[in-house]
Each structure stands twice: as C-alpha cells, then as structure tokens.
Chains A and B, each alone.
Chain A
Amino acid sequence: MAIVELTNICKDYQQGKEPVRVLKNVNLTVEKGEYLAIMGPSGSGKTTLMNIIGCLDVPTSGSYTLDGQDLRDLDDDAMADVRNKHLGFVFQSFHLMPRLNALDNVALPLLYGGVSLKERRERAAEALKAVGLEDRMDFFPNQLSGGQCQRVAIARAMVGKPDLLLADEPTGALDTKAGNQIMDIFRQLSNEGMTIIMITHEPGIAACADKTYHILDGELRTDGNLVKMGGGEDEED
C-alpha cells in the first residue's frame, strides 16, 4: 500500500520577476515500509521536494496523497496536525531547542499532540533509549556531540510513532563515524517496518537505503531513468 503518492507535482519560486520552476512534474510513489534515498546535487530541488512531502510547503500544482488523505485543501493548523501525528523530521542541522534538555526536546512533539506530562516523559525516555542515549537524558544540546544531537533529533522524530520518517541530509553535518551510527539507526528502524525517505548528496549514504532515486534540476529519476508519467516539462497546469 502506498503511503506517499505525488502526481505531477510542480513547484515554482519567484526569483526576481520570473517564476522559476524548481520541481518539474514529479511523480513519486512510496510504499509502506520502503527505505528510499533521494540523491541529487546541491540546488536540484531535494529540500523543496522534501518540504512538500513533509507538508511544510504546498506544491504549485499537482496532487499529493499521504496515507490515502488528499492534502490539497488543508489549512495551516490541519497541516500542523498532520505533521505532528504522521510525520517525523530529521534535519541536517538537528534543530534542537538549546534551552531544553534532551528529554524535553524529544518530548516536544508530544506536547503539541496533547499528551500528558507523565506519558510524554515516559515515551521520550523510551525513544532516547532506542537511539542509545538513555544516559544523556538531562544533557543540553551544547553538552552533546553532533552525532548525539542528531540521535536526539531522531528520537524526537520517532517519539510520536509516525508513519513516515523524513530526513534531509541527516549526516551532512557529521563525520563519517557519527554518520554511520545514524545510518545504523535508520537501518534498524527500517527493519522494524518504518517508512523512510532520506535525502542526501553522498552516494555512500544513499547506498544504505533499499532504493535510490535521483533528482536533477527538479526532475526526479529512478536509477538513472527519467521518471515522466505526466506531460512534458514545459507544460503548465
């Protein structure tokens, strides 16, 4: 069963006077349990695609169904809810709250989900344990290494038991050793049945996934082949 279904997604950005098409008729289907890497050079539109899949941005045209739900007409708060309940995010630069300790950082999404304090604490502790940081729960981000910060971020992404984990260059700010540790965690999550979409420009990291798609100049290809199910690239919707 498909969890993500993008059909003819286009995204334009206004750059100066001219609108620039950053995503060009992207079609993508991700099945439940898949572990997918999307590779591409800098500026190819990876993050833009990720933001659309992550319900952080809306496409200029095309349709997006997440877990069977069409997301076209949702307002900001409904989108926030979708992100909170169904999605987990891992960013290149961790984005931890500097004034919260590891446990509170991890518990944050549960706060927005309306979970009680006691349960928040329990589940956050559990999630931290799953990434091997049970002894760092009351450390603040500035007391943790980059790899540890990213593991806290993964715990935060996983604490709400999402349907889909989205990672935008999760190892981009880490050394190889820490990066590999992150990849081990992703592998384990995948083995446990989590659907993962990971964005990277490093082939070595992409190789950790089950499947790699390439994006170039806003066009998504699978294993070197241009994926083009819709119309031509100049067509407007």
Chain B
Amino acid sequence: MIENIRLAFQGIWSHKMRSVLTMLGIIIGIAAIITIVSTIQGTNEQIKENLIGAGNNVVTVNLNQSGYSYDMSWNPIPSGVRTITEETRQELEQIDGVEKVSLYNSRNYVNMVYYLNAEYQGEIYGIDSNYLSVYGYQVKQGRGFTQRDYDQFRKVLLVDTNVVKNLFGGESPVGKNMEIQSEVFTIVGVVALSEEFAPTINSLSDYHMYANTSSGCIYMPITTWPTAYQFDEPQNVAIKVKDTDTMTQAGKAAADLLTDKQIQDPDNSEFDYRSQDMLEQAQKLQSMSKSTNTQLIWIASISLLVGGIGVMNIMLVSVTERTSEIGLKKAIGAKKKRILLQFLTESAVLTSLGGLIGVISGVILAQVISNIMQIPVSISGVAILVAVVFSTLIGVIFGMLPAYKAANLNPIEALRRD
C-alpha cells in the first residue's frame, strides 16, 4: 500500500501539468467550500459574540400586553399584575441553568431629567444590588450603591460612560447633582462594562444603545424608584444564565413562572411575561446567513462532481497508456485486486492532493476575503478534515471504473501493444 502511494506520487509528479489540470476541479470545489464554510462560521461566531458576549449571558423577562412589551413610560400601572417579591426572585434563581436574578424598574423614554439646564434623553433604571454583576458592569469612578443607599432610599445615581460623554462633556460627574422629576439626586459613581465584556452587547437595550449611540443610562437604587416615579410598578427581570446552551430554555421557564405568579388571572389576562434572549435572535440571523450559503455549497459540490469526472477521464487515459505495463504485471503474477488497488490508490492520492491544495487555497482565500471585506473568518478543523476525506472519497468513487477496467485487462491483449 505504501509502495502504491509512493508510486502514485511518482506518477503524479511525472505528469505535473496534467495532474494539476485534473485536480483543478477538485481544488476549486474544495477551496470554495472551505472559503464559504469559514466565512459562514466566522460571521456566525461574530453574531453570537456580539449579541451574547462571552460568559455574560443575560435573558430579560418583561411584562407584555397582548404580545407587546409593556412600557411604563407611557402606561399606568397595569391592573391585575403584582410586583415581584423577594421570594419569587429566589424561586427564579432555583430554575435550572440560572445563576443570578436581578429585578429592576425602567424608563426607556424619560422627561423632566436635567443636569443644570441640559435635558437628559437616555434611559433610567431602578436597580437592585444584583444588577451590575448580572450585566457585567463595573464601577469605574466613585462608588457603587451601598446597603445604606437601599435601606435609606437615598437619592443617589450611577451613570454610564455615555452619560459622562454626552451630558458632562467627558468631565467627572461624581458629586454633581441631577434633577429627576423635580427631585435632586447626587451622582456617586460611573459604571462601564468590565474589560472582558467591553465591546460586546449583552441585551437588547445595550444593542440599541450601541446601534443608536444612545445618550446613556442612569441608575438609582430600586428602593428610591418610587420617590421619582411611583410605587408598585411591576419590575423587569434580568437573568444571568450559566451557559448559552440552556439560555432560551431557562428564559422561557422564568417567563412561565412569572406569568403564573404575578398575573392574578393568567388565563383571562391580556398580560403575560415573555423572555427575550439574544441567542434566539442570533440564531435567526445565523440561519439566514446559512440558507444563502447552503446554495453556494451546492454549487461548489457540482464543481467537485465535475472534478471527479475529470479525474475519471484522466485515469481512463492513464489505463490505456499503461496497458502494456498492466499486461506485464499480470503476466508476472499480479492479481486483479492488486491492479485494482494500484489504480484506486492513484486516483485517491490525486484527489486527496487536490483536496489538500484546495484546503490551503480556501484558507488563504478566506483570509483575503476577511481582510478585504472586514468580515471575520473562522477556519474549522472539522471542515478541513471533512474536505480532505471527501476528496479522497471522490478519488475512490471515480477511480472505480478505470481501476476495474485495468484489473480486467486481458494480459495478452495488453502485451500485444508495444
């Protein structure tokens, strides 16, 4: 066998031009597939990374009315919906795959919020003590909220870096006052995503925030929230899950539990809780890019088929050329199987080599595309392995006919030709 492979390489080497031309179909097909798969994979990984973030996997569960997110900016406190108790929060933490649960109130559209004469137009949150760690925020300046802030309903604020940039012109806001709904609050700290999560987007609002270059987020202790707004607003829930695989599932379980517990008459209510995780959205985007690329892979496969037929053709030529060699081998005692194997090996080596060159070209091409078009590529070892195995298989399949022909040559016919 090793001898066969060695001879096959010798044969390929002695017909360099012909071999390369024969392999071209395979090379192009494999290169195309590797390029496509690498770009798909790279794009998908980027989508996933952008939307989910590494290790900071958050599902939000919000109150919905007739299928639309219920926004307290425009709406009164919904009737028949209870606020979430600490016991329920702890129950949520018991759900499989859930690591930490945070409750918060929010306004996505605010008015009557000022720093000096400048009106603030970002979002405002009333957050519990889990919130920052659930979302992976860190206090960059000043301090975070203390237990006292919560217990004494202190009118203190944290702001994010967008607020610092947009409202404070980049200067430190710590110690400065803001007016929210005619109440005066003092900024005690600045938060930002901790380094490891820095460029990633961890929730829908983050996503919008980045996309719209939002004016920012302001946070107050959830206990202080009624001072600025009102009592008994139903909270939102942010759930940090242990891993992305069970993320959607955990979110759904939490939403079901909340719908069950918080809505007084769940069967007849237009209200329910729904989970929203980025993984779901990421998967939607991914499947979209996948389906267009599946078509490309089909086209590449046709190129492989054509390449295989080319290999078969050249192997048939080679059998004819080497008729006398085959006849001699049979005359001195080579059995059919040996001749069969020799030609199968030769065509398999030819296509494997083509596959290998195709993989290398594909990887290079993917890198070039990545550089030119600024899309990420991810070269998968599995894809490379499959490509090489597949091209070997093509050689075996399309080498079958020529090899069979060679094995069944009549030795006297073969020797007659000189």
Stretch at the interface among A18-26, A93-101, A121-129, A225-233: A93-101
> B415 near A91 (CB under 8 angstroms)?
yes
Chain A residue at minimal CB-CB distance from B333: A84
B10, B14, B331, B418: the one contacting A56 at CB < 8 Å is B331
> B333 near A80 (CB under 8 angstroms)?
yes
A89, A91, A92, A99: the one contacting B10 at CB < 8 Å is A99
Q: Which residues in A have their C-beta under 8 angstroms from that of B332? A: 83-84, 89, 108-109, 112, 156
State the CA gap A89–B337 with chains docked (Å). Answer: 22
State the CA gap A33–B327 with chains docked (Å). Answer: 28
Is B334 at the interface (CB under 8 A from chain A)? yes
Count residues of B near A (Cβ-Cβ below 8 Å): 23
Query: B292-339: which residues lie under 8 A (CB-CB) from chain A?
Result: 324-325, 327-338
Is A77 at the interface (CB under 8 A from chain B)? yes
**What distance in Å separates the Cβ of A194 from its nearest Cβ neighbour in chain B?**
17
Chain A residue at minimal CB-CB distance from B331: A89
> B324 near A113 (CB under 8 angstroms)?
no
Is B383 at the interface (CB under 8 A from chain A)? no
State the CA gap A91–B417 with chains docked (Å). Answer: 12
Is B364 at the interface (CB under 8 A from chain A)? no
Q: Which residues in B have their C-beta under 8 angstroms from that of A91? A: 328, 415
> A93 near B418 (CB under 8 angstroms)?
yes
Is B368 at the interface (CB under 8 A from chain A)? no
Q: Which residues in B have their C-beta under 8 angstroms from that of A160? A: 333
**What distance in Å separates the Cβ of A87 from its nearest Cβ neighbour in chain B?**
9
Q: Which residues in B have their C-beta under 8 angstroms from that of A51? A: 412
B11, B327, B333, B337: the one contacting A81 at CB < 8 Å is B333
Q: Which residues in A have their C-beta under 8 angstroms from that of B325? A: 95, 97
State the CA gap A204–B55 with chains docked (Å). Answer: 94
**What distance in Å separates the Cβ of B340 from its nearest Cβ neighbour in chain A?**
12
- Interface 1/0s, chain B 122-144, versus A by CB < 8 A? 00000000000000000000000
Chain B interface main SS type: helix
**What distance in Å separates the Cβ of A164 from its nearest Cβ neighbour in chain B?**
14
Given known A83-B331, A95-B324, contact A77–B415 (CB-CB < 8 A): no
**What distance in Å separates the Cβ of B346 from its nearest Cβ neighbour in chain A?**
12
Q: Which residues in B have their C-beta under 8 angstroms from that of A113? A: 333
> B324 near A77 (CB under 8 angstroms)?
no
Is A57 at the interface (CB under 8 A from chain B)? yes
**What distance in Å separates the Cβ of A13 from its nearest Cβ neighbour in chain B?**
11
State the CA gap A95–B418 with chains docked (Å). Answer: 9
> B7 near A112 (CB under 8 angstroms)?
no
Chain A residue at minimal CB-CB distance from B337: A77
Q: Which residues in A have their C-beta under 8 angstroms from that of B97? A: none
**What distance in Å separates the Cβ of A10 from its nearest Cβ neighbour in chain B?**
17
Is A76 at the interface (CB under 8 A from chain B)? yes
- Interface 1/0s, chain A 99-117, versus B by CB < 8 A? 1000000001101110000
Is A54 at the interface (CB under 8 A from chain B)? yes
> A83 near B333 (CB under 8 angstroms)?
yes
Is B411 at the interface (CB under 8 A from chain A)? yes
> B334 near A80 (CB under 8 angstroms)?
yes
State the CA gap A54–B330 with chains docked (Å). Answer: 12
> A54 near B331 (CB under 8 angstroms)?
yes
> B415 near A99 (CB under 8 angstroms)?
no
A80, A85, A93, A99: the one contacting B7 at CB < 8 Å is A99
Q: Which residues in A have their C-beta under 8 angstroms from that of B337? A: 77
Q: Which residues in B have their C-beta under 8 angstroms from that of A92? A: 418
- Interface 1/0s, chain A 33-71, versus B by CB < 8 A? 000000000000000000100101100000000000000
> B412 near A57 (CB under 8 angstroms)?
yes
State the CA gap A147–B51 with chains docked (Å). Answer: 79
Q: Which residues in A have their C-beta under 8 angstroms from that of B415? A: 56, 91, 95
**What distance in Å separates the Cβ of A165 from its nearest Cβ neighbour in chain B?**
13
- Interface 1/0s, chain A 151-167, versus B by CB < 8 A? 00000100010000000
**What distance in Å separates the Cβ of B67 from its nearest Cβ neighbour in chain A?**
75
Chain B residue at minimal CB-CB distance from A97: B325
**What distance in Å separates the Cβ of A79 from its nearest Cβ neighbour in chain B?**
9
> A112 near B335 (CB under 8 angstroms)?
yes
Query: B1-53: which residues lie under 8 A (CB-CB) from chain A?
Result: 3, 7, 10-11, 14
Given known A51-B412, A56-B411, A95-B324, contact A108–B329 (CB-CB < 8 A): yes
State the CA gap A113–B239 with chains docked (Å). Answer: 73
Q: Which residues of A contact B (CB under 8 A)?
A: 51, 54, 56-57, 76-77, 80-81, 83-85, 89, 91-93, 95, 97, 99, 108-109, 111-113, 156, 160
19 contacts between A and B (CB under 8 A): A76-B336, A77-B336, A80-B333, A81-B333, A89-B331, A95-B324, A95-B325, A95-B327, A95-B328, A95-B331, A95-B415, A97-B325, A97-B328, A99-B10, A99-B11, A99-B14, A112-B329, A112-B332, A112-B338
**Can you name 15 extra interface pairs (CB under 8 A) apart from A77-B336, A81-B335?**
A56-B412, A77-B337, A80-B335, A81-B333, A83-B333, A85-B333, A89-B332, A92-B418, A95-B324, A95-B331, A95-B415, A109-B332, A109-B333, A112-B329, A112-B334
User: Lowest 3 CB-CB distances: which A-B pairs, in order?
Assistant: A84-B333, A112-B333, A95-B328
